[in-house]
Structure 1
Amino acid sequence: MSRFKAVIIDDEPNMRLLLRELVADNFTEIQIMAEAGSVDEGVAIILQHKPDIVFLDIEIKGGTGFHILQKVKPYSFKLIFITAFNQFAIKAIKFSAIDYILKPVNETEFVQAVSNAIDSIQQSLSSAQMTNFIDHFEKEEQRKKIVLRTSDAIHLVEVSDIVYCKSDNSYTSFYLKDQKEILVSKSIKEFADLLEEYRFFRPHQSFLVNLNCVNKIDKTDGGFIILNNGKEIPVSGRRKAYVLQMVEAL
């Protein structure tokens, strides 16, 4: 028996058929309630069926998936973007920890994204991810937040509250101004790509530092950074010139 309702919004009939088949093959607990190929149709089926999961293309007839999201607040569903391009949109999606699947659709990636959505629904996690995505995409707010998804919660963190990050293989620990630590199962490289425009830099392959939290650069003994909280961050030899350049550009 189906426990979750879903809708598919994509202007390619073949893609809608493929998504429907992937759901049928892998998730008997999901029922596809309706399909749409345009912005207006997409808004209509979301409002009518109140789905648990929405599969949404970014580039769609009549506008973008983003235009649909603007018209269906508040968000009571889990969103999975299906997209072939639009790098800015993908960065905003990553920043907000919303799942997305690149075309051509890979079945393994599809199953993982849908499984994440089901887990979020079962844990009754907040729809704050969606709101944060809209805020980031529209760039209406000066204070930015990043969504950090852990094994048991979703944390919305002000970017300015992050002091530094430390890598542990495929995990990244975030150290905040209030001494809180959040461990996320993603590599530090992915976060470096997301946070570079907010004055974060990597003085060492294992660290990502908020430039606004740097107190001093000590050039002795190979070099290290002293943060406002007293933490010392090593500077690798090959990145020393880069670090000095970052600080001098302030």
Structure 2
Amino acid sequence: MIRTLIIDDEQHCIDRIEKLINDYGDNLKIVGACSTVDEALKKTNSLNPDLVFLDIEIHDKTGFDYLEQLGEFDFNLIFTTAFNNYAIKAFKYSAMDYLLKPIDSDDFSEAIKRLNKRISATDTEVQIKLLLNNLKKENHKKTIRIPTTDGFEIIEISDIIHCQAETSYTHIFTKNNKFLVSKGIRFYEDLLKDANFFRIHNSHLVNIDHIKKYTKGKGGYVTMSDNSNVDVSTRKKEDFLKLFK
């Protein structure tokens, strides 16, 4: 049984999550609901939930205020939000789960399925600390969590040189390492598009800051900081060259 706490400053949002939990089955049990950060801190310490649904905007405070004041995290966490693209980008960098309001029942079910597959609350603690860290940083200094065969590695986004697609997998090349991850390149294109990355080819996503040279041709190719050559597709060539005008 997953003991669940809901933190939201709108009663209709609390009611929606309660209904979704009740419809989901016996796996989730609501132990409390609160509408302020101060109340949430008290209930978290007294109720020891296994799972917290956390709103972003809570009156004059935020869900991040709650996390920073709490300090230690021995529960799983799912954010709920109606907006704030910046925060959503940070969620993706740190692999945190979130639900957009109004919460769809299918999205809710998928979030609970992902919850059941997570390693532990200790893994969530690492994710939360990474999230809070990313929210305080400029884009080029942000970090991203890369899954590995024995866990995960946290790397600076600025260290990523380029990404290469291989069917539904992606090779990520960094200054000091190479990773193969089980997500498609489209996922990383969306994740990194605001961090000065550009999809120059159907199979290649490059960090503009790591381009050393462009060589003309039908599409041409770029030479990266690791001396690798990456083709530019003819379809992407014009948009790519506009970046340097």
Using structure 1 for the length normalisation, give the TM-score: 0.85
Aligned residue type for 2:111 = A
1:232 matched to 2:218: no
- Which structure 2 residue ranges, 5 or more long, are not aligned? none
Deviation at 1:211, TM superposition (A): 2.0
Aligned residue type for 1:45 = K
Map 1:116-135 → 2, pairs under 5 A: 116-122=114-120, 125=123, 127-135=125-133
Alpha-carbon contact 2:9-2:58 (below 8 Å) kept: yes
Deviation at 1:168, TM superposition (A): 4.3
Counterpart secondary structure, 1:125? helix
Cα root mean square deviation, aligned: 2.5
Q: CA offsets, 1:103-160, max 9 Å, x none?
A: 1111111111122122214596352111111011122797320123578744322112
Aligned residue type for 1:201 = F
Distance 1:124 1:58, change over 3 A: closer
Cα distance in 2 between the residues matched to 1:26 and 1:150: 32
Alpha-carbon contact 1:9-1:38 (below 8 Å) kept: yes
Q: CA offsets, 1:4-43, max 9 Å, x none?
A: 3221101222322221232233242332221111111112
Cα distance in 2 between the residues matched to 1:142 and 1:225: 21
Map 1:1-250 → 2, pairs under 5 A: 2=1, 4-122=2-120, 125=123, 127-139=125-137, 143-149=141-147, 153-168=151-166, 170-185=168-183, 187-246=184-243, 248=244
Cα distance in 2 between the residues matched to 1:154 and 1:15: 34
Cα distance in 2 between the residues matched to 1:200 and 1:72: 35
Aligned residue type for 1:7 = L
4+ residue runs of structure 1 moved beyond 6 angstroms? none
Alpha-carbon contact 1:38-1:62 (below 8 Å) kept: no
Aligned residue type for 2:75 = F
Aligned residue type for 2:165 = S
Distance 1:78 1:70, change over 3 A: same
Aligned residue type for 1:87 = N
Counterpart secondary structure, 2:163? strand
Cα distance in 2 between the residues matched to 1:102 and 1:126: 20
The alignment of Structure 1 onto Structure 2 pairs a total of residues equal to: 245
Cα distance in 2 between the residues matched to 1:98 and 1:27: 24
Using structure 2 for the length normalisation, give the TM-score: 0.87
Alpha-carbon contact 1:173-1:184 (below 8 Å) kept: no
Cα distance in 2 between the residues matched to 1:71 and 1:94: 22
Alpha-carbon contact 1:148-1:157 (below 8 Å) kept: yes
Cα distance in 2 between the residues matched to 1:156 and 1:123: 18
